[in-house]
Chains A and B, each alone.
Chain A
């Protein structure tokens, strides 16, 4: 069976992916949020496994992560919540989290569990490519879990080519040299970077993330990539409007 991520990437049109922190606003919101996202037409979901020290994240995701941990979210709780999710959810589900919690769970056990639940892939920002290849690639393959890598404006062409050659699914294109967080628009520098990457003709599709917050930035990002990920802005919307406001938020991005 083709991985749901590949299948989705082969569809026509641009993809909207949403990141949220599991266990936030409340511990048991995870499944409801996923249902609502699918209903409102989101193409892909990144479920954030909260970590105490999220190095690449801005204040919004830092706060939602520490709140989620306080609420009692952890790896076991998340896996229990997601049991049976595939009875109702058909869009790709990705877990995004820092490496330490996954390492403590055991990388093989983690991948095995993801396979059982129907998680399609992982994004682990602080797991370096070389270390992954040497130590974990075979485990990911065994359990058919995709591992998506990041590229950033300072990433060299040579390294981008290497990442392209070993990437599953998509490349997570970080929109700027920055931590996560919403911005109202992209700078000309960012647009130049998007164009530069587009001209490299990579084999792996790209999904843009970091600083995508609204219709304007979503549309600008997908001019140069297959889709875009909204995280912080989605979480802010949850803060103000709650789970009931998800549909309205998604429609504001792409109606």
Chain B
């Protein structure tokens, strides 16, 4: 089985570039250049130096003793929450800003849901001195106010997406429309492994540093590069793609992708794409997405702004179809409780996205010598208001 993208931009049945002709030249330019640029020695030097000195990589692989004891297995946390800006998102934005500079772009646009990708993009634009416009759903602007303030401090313009459900899906539509209107000068930094080819592959490559580091860190700690399980939360799927990237061919490593069930998979308020999704086209990619019978994309729901995306990256649809990954759905309530539990047991407050991955432990059986690596994709600071409201803190 092949888990990399083919020449036409597909992972098996999923992927491609279903975009209006106006975007074809933009994607064609990226497609022709991205591998060449990423492979270039100078680029790699710049990228690795920034990851080290600016982002703070490598992030630790931390043996979480107390939750390991509770769930009777060996749990390691890949501490992406310790990255500059508080989540894995910056691995990708550092890569893409360097790429955009090499392509001669003068202006950056991005979409954001929880605001993490928006902050990570605004950050690298400040670093590079490039104009930055972030599209964010009006609903998300309200529930993620601190991140909106961060983006503004970093010099970005935050544009409210007022169409549709006013969340991530609509912010992405607005960013794509901006790109149609500004095809030559602007680079679009997509924040997840979604969108038209070559984005899913490019973003996965920039996030793959996560599993590259894990291989050597785990070897040092456990004498093996390969854990028994990898667990990641999944919305579009960028932190998951980074966690899995260097293990996809390693079939002894089981992969568990945890998506948001919201109020419950069958409640009508959910973002569990693996169960509720059907094959279709969203944001230029053929993948699984939540939609009506006549093909209108539906509004997902999750308490976590980073997981309420109605689709999933094409790589993940392929991993599901080929049974390389197992999918689980976790409700808001389970995730919130897990978030509190991890905070109390390990002294780390997780992003609510990340908390979904920990809630999965309640539904899984492990052997005592099983090694599990959980991607600790982000820190919970941005979610404090949600935690406060939920637990009456």
Residues of A within 8 A of B (CB): 51-53, 55-56, 58-59, 62, 66, 69, 74-76, 98-105, 125-128, 130-131, 149-152, 154-156, 159, 174, 177-179
B209 contacts partner chain A, Cβ-Cβ < 8 Å = no
B180-205 CB contacts (< 8 Å) to partner A:
180-184
The answer to whether B18 and A178 have CB atoms under 8 Å apart is no
The answer to whether B180 and A177 have CB atoms under 8 Å apart is yes
Which B residues touch A76, using CB under 8 A? 294
The answer to whether B21 and A100 have CB atoms under 8 Å apart is no
B39 contacts partner chain A, Cβ-Cβ < 8 Å = no
Which A residues touch B163, using CB under 8 A? 59, 62, 66
Question: Closest 8 CB pairs between A and B?
Answer: A104-B295, A101-B295, A74-B294, A150-B21, A52-B296, A154-B25, A56-B20, A125-B20
The answer to whether B25 and A100 have CB atoms under 8 Å apart is no
Which B residues touch A174, using CB under 8 A? 21-22
Which A residues touch B17, using CB under 8 A? 128
The answer to whether B177 and A152 have CB atoms under 8 Å apart is no
Please encode chain B, from 277 to 299, with 1 for each CB lying within 8 Å of some chain A CB and 0 for all others: 01111111000000111111110
| 22 examples of A-B residue contacts, CB within 8 angstroms | A52-B296, A53-B169, A53-B282, A56-B20, A56-B177, A56-B180, A66-B163, A66-B164, A100-B280, A100-B295, A101-B296, A105-B294, A125-B20, A125-B21, A126-B281, A128-B18, A128-B24, A131-B16, A152-B25, A154-B26, A155-B21, A155-B24
Which A residues touch B25, using CB under 8 A? 152, 154-156
Q: Which residue of A lies closest to B184 (CB)?
A: A154
Rounded to whole angstroms, the CA-CA distance of A98 and B293 in the bound complex is 15
Rounded to whole angstroms, the CA-CA distance of A178 and B59 in the bound complex is 42
Select one of B183, B184, B281, B293 contacting A99, CB under 8 A.
B281
Which A residues touch B296, using CB under 8 A? 51-52, 69, 74, 101
Q: Inter-chain contact count A-B, CB under 8 Å?
A: 111
The answer to whether A154 and B18 have CB atoms under 8 Å apart is no
Which A residues touch B182, using CB under 8 A? 177
Rounded to whole angstroms, the CA-CA distance of A189 and B180 in the bound complex is 16
Rounded to whole angstroms, the CA-CA distance of A159 and B282 in the bound complex is 25
Rounded to whole angstroms, the CA-CA distance of A98 and B280 in the bound complex is 11
Rounded to whole angstroms, the CA-CA distance of A15 and B43 in the bound complex is 52
The answer to whether B181 and A131 have CB atoms under 8 Å apart is no
Given the known A-B contacts A56-B180, A154-B184, are A126 and B294 also in contact in the complex, defined by CB atoms under 8 Å? no
Which A residues touch B282, using CB under 8 A? 53, 100
Q: Which residue of A lies closest to B10 (CB)?
A: A131
Q: Which residue of B lies closest to A57 (CB)?
A: B177
Residues of B within 8 A of A (CB): 8, 16-22, 24-26, 163-164, 169, 173, 176-177, 180-184, 278-284, 291-298
Select one of A74, A125, A150, A177 contacting B181, CB under 8 A.
A177
The answer to whether B180 and A126 have CB atoms under 8 Å apart is no
Rounded to whole angstroms, the CA-CA distance of A152 and B20 in the bound complex is 10
Q: Which residue of A lies closest to B163 (CB)?
A: A62
A56, A76, A128, A155 pick with most chain B CB within 10 angstroms: A128
Rounded to whole angstroms, the CA-CA distance of A127 and B280 in the bound complex is 12
Which A residues touch B292, using CB under 8 A? 74
Q: Which residue of A lies closest to B16 (CB)?
A: A131
The answer to whether B16 and A128 have CB atoms under 8 Å apart is yes
Cβ distance A207 to chain B, nearest Cβ, rounded Å: 14
The answer to whether B22 and A56 have CB atoms under 8 Å apart is yes
Cβ distance B111 to chain A, nearest Cβ, rounded Å: 12
Q: Which residue of B lies closest to A74 (CB)?
A: B294
The answer to whether A51 and B295 have CB atoms under 8 Å apart is yes
Rounded to whole angstroms, the CA-CA distance of A130 and B164 in the bound complex is 30
Rounded to whole angstroms, the CA-CA distance of A98 and B284 in the bound complex is 11
Q: Which residue of B lies closest to A172 (CB)?
A: B21
Rounded to whole angstroms, the CA-CA distance of A59 and B284 in the bound complex is 20
Which A residues touch B294, using CB under 8 A? 74-76, 101, 104-105
Cβ distance B284 to chain A, nearest Cβ, rounded Å: 7
